[in-house]
Amino acid sequence: MSLLKKSAVELVSLLRDGELTSADLTRAYLNQIEEHEGTIQAFLHVDREAALQQAEDLDRRRAAGENMGPLGGLPVAVKDLLCTRGVTTTCASRMLENFRPPYDATVIARLKAAGAVLIGRTNLDEFAMGGSCENSAFQTTRNPWDPERIPGGSSGGAAACVAAAMAPLSVGSDTGGSIRQPAALCGVTGLKPTYGRVSRYGLVAFASSLDQIGPLAATAEDVALLLEVLAGHDPLDSTSIDAPVPRYIETVRQPLEGLRVGLVTDHLAEQLDPDVEAAVREAVRVYESLGANVEEVSLPHSRYGIATYYVIAPSEASSNLARYDGAHYGYRTDESALQAELAAERAAAQSEQEEARLDTPLVRMYRKTRSEGFGAEVKRRIMLGTYALSSGYYDAYYLKALKVRRLIVEDYRAAFQKADVLLGPVTPSPAMPLGHFKDDPLGMYLTDLFTVGANLAGIAGISLPCGQSREGLPIGLHLQAPPLEEERLLRAAHMFQTATDWHRRRPDFVASED
């Protein structure tokens, strides 16, 4: 079997045992990227030399008998919104096209310390806003199962690169489903940890109260391996939880006795693709066959999730993205063109009053910089959020949304009285064709229906492959667990993966390689 088909857990053990060098492994992945990136376009940036350099350094350290860390030379792909010192971090935006952070995000520091080889920076919807990667300012990542379809998003590159065997492990971020939805659409396993489980320090913020970094990989075991590296308290993030990190990798293989699975009936209602529904119902039977008790549960306020999310997330985004104003770093509009424009307007002014109403050069710089630097979806959300926070509207939108958010939290609390994990679909349908939501942003927003709840409530959720549509597209199963119960989620997911092989299925071009 080719190296690229092995799980991360297997590869780490080969590396540790000296049967494989990090350089050879890294080279194999780099070759795979080179071969298929033209089609998939999962990466915004791959520095072959730098990756090999890191791998060789790690190999040297291993040869010298040093501790390699839990990842021991394993390549890891990183979503291009995690600040990495000296490495361009674009957030798939023109605004940050040439931005090189002066510091490492906490997760980047942890990855480096854990012996990861940072193999490349994956594509995303601009500033993580979107569910298809079509909002990237630079390229559209393709679904490895069908290049005419979306990989999902916003961590589309992160999911696609795992599905295409371009990286064994991948780090994404999830604000409303941005890890779980692309994981589902690309047939990989992706986990959104509890809010605060992984430090957000250095994650370029989209919506601060919802953003959470998490791992993507082929299997629950591999996800466990990476989560253990990412998770942990960080004094640099005030919202980070100060709780010990369980040894996920040691417990993931232990089945859960008497597991109570709650089937979220609200998520099996109308507009669900029949293939998705069938796959989810089949997953229920799998759990029953594994000895779990399945009971129906309801999240009655779940249907307000999208409305709530699309007030809170854009509100925070409108504030978080205010800093991209051209004054300090990042894109700035052409200054001589700006001056010429203003001079022409002054000359054309019919009266002093009219001239006085013209922008100052500073205001015009802000306007032009932000108009030119941001894409349409980002601007749409900035406008939504600016409106929702405006004086006179705050109570009706933002404050109301916070109240509904509270109700959603209560829904989950009640549901977890009856169930250890909640089960449902990740997405209403398998991957849509490219351009499907081009003129329908609201339709795009609605695909987050099943995932936003976990972000609003701050709980953990995982997406794992549970079937295929009649067109052969992956379908994702969504499990959710109470705060800090990642271990439970991983064990439940692993149980499922011992009984099924959906997580081993690969797109043809990967499966046919040897």
Partner 1 sequence: MSELPYKIVIGLEVHVQLATQSKLFCRCSTQFGAPPNTQTCPVCSGMPGALPVLNREAYRMAVRAALALNCEIPEFTKWDRKQYYYPDLPKGYQISQFDLPMSQHGHLAISDPKNRFEPKRVGIIRAHLEEDAGKSMHDEQAGTADSRIDLNRCGTPLLEIVSEPEMYSPEEAKAYLTELKLLLTYLEVSDCNMQEGSLRVDANVNLHIPDPDAADGPPIATPIVEVKNMNSFRAVERALHYEADRQWEVWQESHQRLGDVPKQTRGWDENAEITRGQRSKEESSDYRYFPDPDLVPVVMSAKETAEIRNQLGELPAALRKRLEETYGIKPYDSDVLVNQGRALVDYYIELAEQCGDGKLASNWVQQDVLRLLNEREISIDDYAVRPSAFAELLAKVQDGKLDTSRGREVLAEMIEAGLSVADAMEKLGIAEVDDSELVELCQSLIAANPKIVADIQAGNLKAAGALIGQAKKQNPNVNPSRVRELCIELSSEAS
Least distance in Å: CB of 53 to partner 1?
Answer: 25
Neighbouring CB atoms inside 10 A of 344's CB total 10
Among 24, 47, 99, 359, binds partner 1 (CB under 8 A): 99
Could you give the CA distance from residue 435 to residue 236 in angstroms, rounded to a whole number? 40
Is 366 near partner 1 (CB under 8 A)?
A: yes
Pick 152 or 202: Cβ nearer partner 1: 202
Residue with tokens 């992984």: 198
327 binds partner 1 (CB under 8 A): yes
Q: How far is the CB of 339 from partner 1 (least distance, A)?
A: 9
Q: Is 82 in the site for partner 1 (CB under 8 A)?
A: yes
Q: Parallel, antiparallel, or unpaired for β 117-122 and 75-79?
A: parallel
Catalytic, out of 79, 112, 192, 368: 79
Q: How far is the CB of 126 from partner 1 (least distance, A)?
A: 13
Stretch 285-324 residues interacting with partner 1 (CB under 8 A):
315-316, 318-319, 321-323
Q: What is the 3-state secondary structure (H, E, C) of 250-314?
A: HHCCCCCCCCEEEEEHHHHCCCCCHHHHHHHHHHHHHHHHCCCEEEEECCHHHHHHHHHHHHHHH
- Alpha-carbon span 204 to 101, nearest angstrom: 11
Q: Does 236 bind partner 1 (CB under 8 A)?
A: yes
Q: Is 193 a binder of partner 1 (CB under 8 A)?
A: no
Residue 55, token pair as written in the block:
């791998």
Structure-token pair, residue 194: 């509890």
Per rule CB under 8 A, is residue 186 in the interface with partner 1? no
Contact stretch for partner 1 (CB under 8 A) within 70-78, 220-228, 326-334, 431-439:
326-334
Q: Which residues of 85-109 are buried (b: 16+ CB within 10 A; e: fewer)?
A: eebbbbbbbbbbbebebeebbbbbb
Tell me how far, at minimum, the Cβ of 97 lies from partner 1, in Å: 13
Buried b (16+ CB within 10 A) or exposed e, 32-50: bbeebbeebbbbbbbbeee
Is residue 89 involved in binding partner 1 (CB under 8 A)?
A: yes
Closest by CA to 199, choosing from 371, 325, 83, is: 83
Site for partner 1 in 42-81 (CB under 8 A): 81
* Nearer Cβ to partner 1 (247/357): 357
Nearest alpha carbon to residue 120 among 180, 202, 33: 33
Question: If binding is defined by CB under 8 A, does position 209 make contact with partner 1?
Answer: yes
Site for partner 1 in 448-487 (CB under 8 A): none
Residue 119 C-beta: closest distance to partner 1, Å? 21
Min dist CB 94 to partner 1, Å, is: 14
Tell which one of 57, 298, 329, 410 touches partner 1 (CB under 8 A). 329
The neighbour count for residue 177, using CB atoms within 10 Å, is: 32
How many residues touch partner 1 (CB under 8 A)? Answer: 46
Minimum CB separation of residue 405 from partner 1 in Å reads 12
Which CB, 328 or 470, lies closer to partner 1?
328
Which of 404, 374, 402 is closest to 389 using CA atoms? Answer: 402
Catalytic residue among 154, 240, 302, 429: 154
Report in angstroms how near the CB of residue 99 gets to partner 1 at its nearest: 7
- Report 373-412 residues binding partner 1 (CB under 8 A): 386, 389-391, 394, 398
Q: What is the distance of C-alpha 457 from the center of its chain? A: 17
* Catalytic-labelled residue, pool 170, 178, 302, 318: 178
- Is 219 a binding residue for partner 1 by CB under 8 A? The answer is no
Of 11, 91, 252, 264, which lies in the binding site for partner 1, with binding defined by CB under 8 A? 91
Span near partner 1 by CB under 8 A; candidates 174-182, 206-214, 430-438, 475-483: 206-214
Active site residue 173: no
d(CA 308, CA 400) in angstroms, rounded, equals: 8
Identity at 452, one-letter amino acid code: V
Q: Check binding of 205 to partner 1 (CB under 8 A).
A: yes
Residue 362 is a binding residue for partner 1 (CB under 8 A): yes
Shortest spacing between CB 47 and partner 1, in angstroms: 20
87: β partners: 84
Count other C-beta atoms under 10 Å from residue 387's C-beta. 14
Surface-to-core class of residue 148, CB atoms within 10 Å of its CB (0-12 exposed, 13-18 middle, 19+ buried): exposed
**Residue among 77, 188, 204, 311 that touches partner 1 (CB under 8 A):** 204
Nearest CA to 156 out of 168, 172, 167, 145 is that of 172
Q: Which residues contact 74 (CB under 8 A, 6 or more apart)?
A: 8, 11, 12, 15, 22, 25, 115, 116, 117, 168, 169
Among 285, 346, 357, 418, binds partner 1 (CB under 8 A): 357
What angle (nearest 5°) sits at the alpha carbon of residue 459, between those of residues 457 and 464? 125
Residue 5: name the closest of 462, 503, 472, 490 by CA.
503
Q: Is 319 one of the catalytic residues?
A: no
Considering the complex, what minimum distance in angstroms separates the CB of residue 103 from partner 1? 5
* 239 near partner 1 (CB under 8 A): yes
Residue 79: active-site member: yes
DSSP 39-62: HH--EEE--HHHHHHHHHHHHHHH
Q: With contacts defined by CB under 8 A, name the span among 65-73, 185-193, 201-209, 450-458 that binds partner 1.
A: 201-209
Active site residues: 79, 154, 178
Which positions lie near partner 1, rule CB under 8 A?
81-83, 89, 91, 96, 99, 101-103, 105, 200-205, 207-209, 235-239, 315-316, 318-319, 321-323, 325, 327-329, 357, 361-362, 366, 386, 389-391, 394, 398
